[in-house]
Amino acid sequence: MSAEARGLLLEMFHAAVAAAHPSTCLAPHLPPAPAKGRLLVLSAGKAAIAMASVAEAHYRAAGIGDRLTGMATAPHGYAAAFSGSRPEQLEILEGRHPTPDASSLAAAERALALARSAGPDDTVLVLLSGGASALWAAPAAGLELAEKTALTRGLLKSGADIHEMNAVRRHLSRIKGGRLRAAAAQADTFITLAISDVPGDDPETIGSGPTVPDPTTLADACKVIARRVERMSELGLPVPGGVYRALENPANETPKPGTGLFAGDRYQIIATPVAALEAAAALARSRGYDVESLGDQVTGEARDVAAAHATLARKARAAGRRLAIISGGELEVTVRNRAGRGGRSQEYALALAIELDGLSGVSALGADTDGIDGGEGRVEDPAGAVIGPDTLARARDRHADARNTLDNNDASTLFEALGDLVHTGPTHTNVNDFRVILVEPA
C-alpha cells in the first residue's frame, strides 16, 4: 500500500471522528441556563467525559456553576486517557464495557439516586453516547449482575445485533427503557442530548433508551433469546436461569409510547453516523475521488459484507473509476475461536483483503469511531486496521495464513505483525463503525 493511500485513509477516519466529537457538536444544542433550581447533568457512554466537560464549561461561563451538579460515567481508563480539561464539579465514574461489572452497577445506582432527587424546579440534562448500556447496569429485581453479564457476553459472541441486544437489556434493567426518566418523575424539565452510534438513530436504541418509552415487549426479548440460545450453548455460554425468570415477570415490562410521563420532554440527536460519513466523503472529494456512500445502516456478518464490498471495488477498478466507497453501520461476527484477538472492523478488513486477493490500486480501512475495536474494551486495544494490494503477500512472507487467521477470528495477531493496526486510543465519541475503500483507476 502506498504511503499516500494509507495517509488518506487515516485522514478520512479522523475527519469522521472529529465531526462527532463533543467539542465540535455539543455546545450549540445545550439548553439555556435555567432561571431557577438545579441543573442536574447525567452523562454516560464513550463520549461521557468530553460531553460533561463541554457542558460544565458552558454553564459555569453562564454563571450557574453553584447550581450545577451531576455525574459522568465512561469506560475504565477513559478518564486517564482524556486530554482535555476534566470536569471539576461533575463527578466522574467508570464502568466496564462491553460487559458491565460492579462499578457499572454502582454508577447506575448513583444515576438513579440523583434522578430521584430532582424536584419540580430542577432541570435534568442527560448526555448519552454509545456504550451507556453497559456503563449503567442496574439488573431487574431478582436478577444477579453476573447473570446479566453472562447473557450480554453470550449475545455478543453469538452475533446478536444492537437491536436484539437492546430489546433484551431494556427488559432486564431498572434504568433502561425509560426507567431513568421514571426515576426523575418529579422534574418538569427533562432534556436528553445524544450522540448516535446506531443505524437509524433510534432514541430507544441509543444507550438502550433510558429516557424514552420502549416500543418493544417482554415477548420480543424472549424471541431474541430463543433465536440465540442454541449458538450460545455451543459457545459454552448458556442463558442463565435468572434471565428467564426476569423475562417471565410482568413487572419488568417497560413504559410504552403514549405514557404521559414523557410529555413535554426534549430529545435531540446532536451527532450521527451519517454526518461523520459525509465529513469523510467531503475530504475524499477534495482529493479528486468520486464518492459512493453505502450509508450508515450496513449490517450483516463482517466477512459477508466484505465480499459484497470487494465486488463493488472490482467493478469500479474495471471501469477505470477513481472512487471512495464509504459505509457505516455495525457488523456482526460469529465467533468460532474464543481465544482469537480482533473485532468486527478488523474481521471486515481481513476478509476484504482475502476477497480482493491482491487487486492492485485498491486499499481500505475498517475502524470503530470510538477508537476501540473488539477485545475487552481496553484503552490500548486497536481501533481497526488498514489493508492494501500487498497485505496477503506480506502475510505470506511471514508464513501467516490469512484465511486460517480469519477462520480463527484472530485478525489482530496478523495485522499487528504487519504493522497495519490503527491505534488512536479512546476518541471520546462514538458514531459506530467507519469503513472506506479507495479505488484508483488502472
* DSSP string over 364-422: EEEEETTS--STT--TTS--EEEE-TTHHHHHHHTT--HHHHHHTT-HHHHHHHHT-EE
User: Does residue 153 carry a pLDDT above 90?
Assistant: no
Reported as a pLDDT band with limits 50, 70 and 90, residue 84 is confident
CB atoms within 10 A of CB 63: 9
Query: Residues of 294-307 as b/e, b for ≥16 C-beta within 10 angstroms?
Result: bebbbeebbbebbe
At 337, the pLDDT band (50, 70, 90 cuts) reads confident
Report whether the peptide linkage leading into residue 75 is cis, meaning its omega lies within 30 degrees of zero: no
Angle 163-165-171 from CA coordinates, rounded to 5°: 105
- Please tell me the predicted confidence (pLDDT) of residue 362: 98
Rounded Cα distance between 239 and 233, Å, is 8
Domains of the chain, with CATH numbers?
3-14+274-439 (3.40.1480.10), 23-138+173-216+254-271 (3.40.50.10180)
* Cell numbers representing residue 309 in the block: 464490498
Higher pLDDT, 157 or 16: 16
Euclidean distance between the first and the last CA atom of the chain, given in angstroms as a whole number: 15
What's the rounded Cα separation, in Å, for the pair 382 and 376? 11
- The pLDDT score that the predictor gives to residue 266 is 98
What would the pLDDT profile of 356-385 be if each residue is shown by its tens digit? 999 999 999 999 999 999 767 789 999 999
DSSP 420: -
Q: Please list, in sequence order, all residues whose beta carbon lies within 8 angstroms of the beta carbon of residue 223, skipping any fewer than 6 positions away.
A: none
Place of cell 444515576: 111
User: Does the pTM of the predicted model rise above 0.85?
Assistant: yes
What pLDDT is recorded for position 330? Answer: 87
Give the whole-angstrom CA distance, residue 208 versus residue 410.
Answer: 30
CB 383 within 8 A of CB 373: yes
Of all residues in the chain, what percent carry a pLDDT higher than 90?
A: 89
